[in-house]
Every structure is written in structure tokens, then in C-alpha cells.
Amino acid sequence: MKLVYFSWVRERVGKTQEDIAPPTGVMTVADLIGWLAARGEEYAYAFENPKIIRAAIDRTHVPPETAIAGAREIAFFPPMTGG
């Protein structure tokens, strides 16, 4: 599946997108954040405070307990500040 990052999550991870294949135990958005945070310093920094990370699956906002099975594109970003 494809991951995309925005704002300071993108800056900390150091890339705008990547393709990943998480292990089968990674079922939810929260699991995925935990798995990513363990991938290296840049990810640990980006996801150091999971409570403020927002996620979207296939361009729809989702809460952390959402299952990721079947997702094509998962986005991570901080709280939005548009308008």
C-alpha cells in the first residue's frame, strides 16, 4: 500500500510518499503508526505523539482504530489548519 505524508509529518519522515508492505499483525491505523515509529529515527520523531497524528484512508478521514485491510492510500498529517 501507498503511504503519503503532509506538513511536518512529511518533513520529519523526509519523504512525500512511499510504498510499504506491513506484516500481517499490523491491522489498524494505530498498529501502522506503531510499526512505522519503530522503523527508524525519522519515523520515531514524526510519530512521537500519535495522539495528534491524523490519518486518512483513500482520502477519507479515519480514526486510529480503523482497519487498514484493502487500503490503497493511507495519509498521515498533523491537525489541519486551512481556511
Site membership for other proteins, residue 6 (CB under 8 A): yes
Question: Helices then strands (H, E): number in the chain?
Answer: 3, 5
Residue type, 53: I
> Could you give the C-alpha distances from 41 to 37, 38, 49, 54, 82, in angstroms and in order?
8, 8, 14, 20, 29
Minimal distance, residue 55 CB to other proteins, in Å: 11
Nearer to other proteins, 32 or 57 (CB): 57
Nearer to other proteins, 6 or 35 (CB): 6
Residues that bind other proteins (CB under 8 A): 4, 6-8, 56, 59-61, 75, 77-83
